[in-house]
Amino acid sequence: MTEPQDPPRFVVQLHDATTLHFDLRLESGGVLRSWAVPKGPSLDPAVRRLAIPVPDHELEAAEFEGVDHGPNGTGAKIIWDEGTVDLTRDDPDHVSFNLHGEKLRGGFALAQTGPDSWILIKMRDEYARRDSDIVGDQPHSVRSGRTWQDVARDG
């Protein structure tokens, strides 16, 4: 059982399930609030990425890298980024936060746009990068250096 840590943590996992997607998880209140982000985060403030809310996960979920056997896809999951998070706004339909990860830094916001849809955007700050593609440029796990395909192949 992992105890809540101070400061709170975040993780972004890249997960090959029914479709390849990213899972963004922010520690808050002793759980990981979670969204599935099909295209993953962007550092470009002009880009709005769909984020689908999913049930809270236990803190232990942030530690998992490996194959999570499910009905679809290979189930491979890597820790694409991780670090600490400061929540600066935590409303039911809007969450603002600063990430201190290896790939993701600075301000981000999640805003609800529909019953089951939110958007993830990068705030304009010194860590914003216009026209960048961090998902494409940096596909590896920050824990192991492996890609999700490496994990899938090694089982």
Indicate whether 81 belongs to the interface with Mn ion (CB under 5 A).
no
Is 23 among the residues that bind Mn ion (CB under 5 A)?
yes
Q: Does residue number 33 form part of the binding site for Mn ion (CB under 5 A)?
A: no
Least distance in angstroms from the C-beta of 124 to Mn ion? 29
Scanning 21-29, 67-75, 87-95, 100-108 for contacts with Mn ion by CB under 5 A, the matching segment is 21-29
The nearer residue to Mn ion, 105 or 146, going by C-beta atoms, is: 146
Query: What length does the chain have?
Result: 155
Q: Judge contact between 82 and 9, C-beta under 8 A.
A: yes
At closest approach, how far in Å is the CB of 121 from Mn ion?
21
Q: In whole angstroms, how close is the CB of 6 to Mn ion at the nearest point?
A: 26
Measured CA to CA, the distance from residue 34 to residue 43 in angstroms comes to 19
155 vs 149: CA distance, rounded Å: 10
Residue 91 CB partners (closer than 8 Å, separation 6+)? none
d(CA 118, CA 120): 7
Q: CB of 77: closest distance to Mn ion in angstroms?
A: 7
Residue nearest to Mn ion (CB): 15
On the CB side of 45, how many CA atoms lie within 13 Å of its CA? Answer: 10
Residue from 8, 12, 14, 15 binding Mn ion (CB under 5 A): 15
Q: How far apart are the first and last CA of the chain?
A: 25
107/110 with CB nearer Mn ion: 110
In the block, tokens 């706004």 appear at: 89
Chain residues in the site for Mn ion (CB under 5 A) = 15, 23
